[in-house]
Amino acid sequence: MSTTNHSCGTTTPGHPSPDELAERRQRRLEQILRRRERLACIAVERMSHDLPDSHDYVLEQLQLEQSIQHCWPEVYDRLLDTWVMEDVSRMHTSDRPLPGCGICIATTAVGRISARPPWETAA
């Protein structure tokens, strides 16, 4: 019969060890932090361009941050100030575009496209 003695570090097959659980938890945290970063970038970009769905992204970002606060309170406390500073630093307007903003890049590229054929604009 297979038994478990977790206090000495052995495990029953199919049951993760404390180290494995800690590693999974760390991977999950890193995954959530990457998702939070992507969401924050999208939310700020969309807010900066006054897009109507920006609030949806902000709400999703806040919900994710609440999950982090609940499951990893020490991480939340350590990163909250940085998040706020980064989000504020990304705010911009259309007339003051932010390098790296996908919407600025797209609208600038569209603005450079001429509807007139090149032989008409050369004169």
43 binds Zn ion (CB under 5 A): no
Q: Toward Zn ion, which CB reaches closer, 33 or 103?
A: 103
Task: Count the residues in the chain.
Answer: 123
44 binds Zn ion (CB under 5 A): no
Q: What part of residues 45-104 is at the interface with Zn ion (CB under 5 A)? A: 101, 103-104
What span, in angstroms and rounded, lies between the C-alpha atoms of 37 and 64?
Answer: 10
CB of 35 to Zn ion, least distance (A): 21
What span, in angstroms and rounded, lies between the C-alpha atoms of 47 and 61?
Answer: 13
Q: Toward Zn ion, which CB reaches closer, 16 or 100?
A: 100
**Binding-site size, Zn ion (CB under 5 A):** 3
Instruction: Please list, in sequence order, all residues whose beta carbon lies within 8 angstroms of the beta carbon of residue 11, skipping any fewer than 6 positions away.
Output: 4, 17
> E-assigned strands of the chain?
none
- The dihedral of CA 71, 73, 33, 103: what is its sign? positive
Q: Toward Zn ion, which CB reaches closer, 31 or 108?
A: 108
Q: Toward Zn ion, which CB reaches closer, 14 or 99?
A: 99
Give the footprint of Zn ion on this chain (CB under 5 A).
Answer: 101, 103-104
